[in-house]
Structure 1
Amino acid sequence: MTQVWRCTGLRWGDDGPVLGWEGGRRSGLERGKRVAFAVVPAGGRTCVGARGHACPVRAEVAGRSTGARCEECARLDRAHSVAADTVADDPRPYRVYLAWFGPGMVKVGITVAERGATRLLEQGAVCFSWLGRGPLMAARRAEELLRAALRVPDRIPYADKRGVRAVLPPVRERLAELAEVHARAVALEGWPESLERAPFRAVDHSGVFGLEGLPRADGVVSELVAGGAVSGDVRAVAGPDLHLVTARGLLVLDSRLMTGWGLTTAGRDEVSVPVRKPGDTEVQGGLF
C-alpha cells in the first residue's frame, strides 16, 4: 500500500528550514537536497483547520490558496492572530522591526520577543534590524506611526519579494538603505514612551537563504493538482519559498501550496503541475 503523507508546512529553526509532516516527521531542506513528491490522484485538497484543531467538515479548498483553510477556519485563525490585529491583551513583550526585501522594499512589523528572528526568516526578509521593544499596544502604535509618518508599509506581496532575489544589490547598499529608514524612524516625534528604542544592528539572511549567486527563476508553481508531481534539487529557501533546480529550469514553489494535499513519493523526474512565468499575476493568500 502506498504511503500517503500530509505536509504541515515549512518551519524555520536553529537547524534551518524544515518541512513538517503529520505524525511529527521532519525533512531538512539543506542546499542540494532532493525534493520529489506526487499528489494523490483522488481526494482533493482539504482544509487544514485552525489553532491546532482539524476542520470539522474537512472542507475542500482551492489549489491556489496559500492559507489552505475554509472560510470558517480562516475566521477562527484570524480571531486569535496578532498579525490581523485581533489580539490586544497579550502581556508578553514585543519587538518592532524593519525588514528589507529589495531596493525600495522596506516594511515595518512586530513579533513577540520570545520568537527572536524567526518571523523575519518566515517572511523571507533579506536583512533586518530591530526598532524597539515593549508592550504589544506600544509596538502597535509605533508600527502605525511609521506607516503614517514615513509611509513604510506593513505588507509586501510575495511576488515582489521573489522578483528581486536574483538581482540584489551588494550587502553594504542594502544595509545603508535600511539604516537610513531606521534613523528616520527612531527620530520621529510621538514615539510611544513605553517602547524602548533599539540601536541599528543589521542582520543579513542572504547566506542563510542561499541567495548568493541565485539565478533568475524560470517559473513559479501556480498550484498543485491531483495526480501532479514536482521533482527538483534545493537551490535556495527564502521564507516559505523553495527555489528548485528541475527539468524545467529553476522553479519557485511556495511550500504553503503543499498543505492540505495527500502526497506520496514521486517515482519520476518531472514537473507536471501548473507553472506561470515570474511576475505574472498571482493570488495573495496571506497578510505578508
Structure 2
Amino acid sequence: MAQMWRCSGLRWAAGGPELVWSGGRASALTWGKRVAFGVVEGGVRTCVGARGHACPGRAAVPGRSTGARCGECARLDRAHSVAADAVPDDPRPYHVYLAWFGPGMAKVGITAVERGSARLLEQGAVCFSWLGAGPLMAARRAEELLRAALRVPDRIPYAEKRAVRAVLPGTEAERAAEIEELHGRAVTLGGWPESLAREPFRAVDHVRAFGLEGAPRAVGEVSELVAGGVVSGELVAAAGPDLHLATGGRGVVVLDTRLMTGWELVPVGGGGAGGETSVPVRELKGGGGGGLQDGLF
C-alpha cells in the first residue's frame, strides 16, 4: 500500500517554493518538476486544527474551502492573529508596504520586519515597496490612514490576482509605476505616526522569482480536490499559494495548494493510468480557456 501524506501548504524559502508535509518534511519545487499526487479513494477532507493543535472532533470540511478549518478552529486561529488586531502588544517591529498584483490592483499591508519579503511572496505580489517601519500599532494606524487616503484595499481575492497574471506589463518599470505613484502620495500625507520611520521607494519585482516571465498562459484552475482524484502536471510557475501546472493537452492549470490541506494524499505515476488530472477544473477568469468545465475531466 502506498504511503499517505498530509500537506501543510506551500512555503516560500530562500531557494524558492516548497511543499511542506506533516512532520516538517519539505519538497523543493523547481521549474519543470512534475507534481503528481492522488487523493485517497474514499477519503474525507478533515479540519487541520489551529495554532499547532489538532481539531478535537476531526470535523469534515468542504473541498472548496481554502482554510480547511471547521468553524471552531477557524475562530481559534483568528483569535491569535495579528491581522485581527488580537495581539496588540507584539514587541516586534513591522513594515508597512505597498504591493501590486496587476493593472489597477494595488494594496497596502503590514508584515513583521524579521520576515523580510516572505509575506509578499506568499501573497503573490508581483512587485512591492516598503513604506515605513516601526511598532505594530503605529504600522497598523499608518495602514488605516493609507487605505483611506489612497483608496486602496488591505485585501485582494486570489481569484482576482490569478486573472491578471496573463496580462502583466513586460518591464519592471511598467510593473512598478502604480506603486511608485502611490508611494509618492503616501509620504506626503499628514497624520503619520511619529514612531513610524518612512522608507524611500525601492521596487522589488517577483516576476522572475515566480517563473512568470515567458511562462505559458494559464487557462483553468482546480476548484477542489475529490476523493480518488488525481493532479498531475509539470510546474511552469508559482505565485503565492498557486502552482501553475502544464497538464499536456489541457494546457496550464492553476492549483491553489491550500486546497491540498486536510486530505490524505498518495504519489502517482507521471504517465499512463492514474497519471491524468481528474479533479474538478473550471475556466480561469481572464484565462481564455473556453472549453474547461467545472467538473471531472
Structure 1 residue ranges without an equivalent (≥5): 281-288
Aligned counterpart, 1:62? 62
Match of 2:275 in 1: 269
SS at structure 1 position matched to 2:17: strand
RMSD (CA atoms): 1.0
The answer to whether 1:19 aligns with 2:19 is yes
In the alignment, structure 1 residue 192 sits paired with structure 2 residue 193: yes
Distance in 2 (CA, whole Å) between partners of 1:201 and 1:106 is 16
Does the alignment pair 1:124 with 2:124? Answer: yes
How far apart, in 1, do the equivalents of 2:160 and 2:275 lie?
Answer: 29
CA distance in 1, matches of 2:24, 2:80: 24
Match of 2:252 among 250, 253, 274: 250
What per-residue deviation string (whole Å, max 9, x for no partner) do you get for residues 156-177 of structure 1?
1111110111211122112122
Whole-Å Cα distance in 2 between the matches of residues 134 and 277 of structure 1? 43
Deviations 1:63-87 (A, max 9, x none): 0000000001000000011122222
Residues 118-151 of structure 1 show CA distances to partners (whole Å, capped at 9, x for unaligned) of 0000000000000000011100010000111111
Name stretches of at least 5 consecutive residues in structure 2 with no aligned partner. 287-297
Provide the rounded CA distance (Å) in 2 between the counterparts of 1:206 and 1:85: 31
Q: 1: distance between equivalents of 2:217 and 2:159? A: 13
CA distance in 2, matches of 1:127, 1:85: 26
Q: Which moved more, 1:94-103 or 1:169-178?
A: 169-178
Map of 1:279 onto structure 2: 285
Equivalence for 1:174: 175
* Local SS of the residue matching 1:160: helix
CA distance in 2, matches of 1:102, 1:62: 30
Letter in 1 for 2:159: A
Structure 2 equivalent of residue 85 of structure 1? 85
Q: Identify the residue that residue 164 of structure 1 maps to in structure 2.
A: 164
SS of the residue corresponding to residue 218 of structure 2 reads: coil
- TM-fit CA distance, 1:13: 1.0
Task: Provide the secondary structure at the position in 1 that maps to 2:84.
Answer: coil
SS at 1:83's partner residue?
helix
Amino acid corresponding to residue 255 of structure 1 in structure 2: T
Q: Which residue in 1 is equivalent to 2:41?
A: 41
The answer as to whether partners of 1:129 and 1:202 remain within 8 angstroms in 2 is yes
Match of 2:225, SS state, is: coil
**Equivalent residues of 1:165, 1:214 under 8 A apart:** no
Deviation at 1:24, TM superposition (A): 2.3
| Residue aligning to 2:220 | 219
Q: Which moved more, 1:117-126 or 1:85-94?
A: 85-94
Distance across 2 between alignment mates of 1:134 and 1:67 = 30
> Equivalents in 2 of 1:28, 1:3: separation in Å?
19
**In terms of mean alpha carbon deviation, does 211-220 or 185-194 score higher?**
211-220
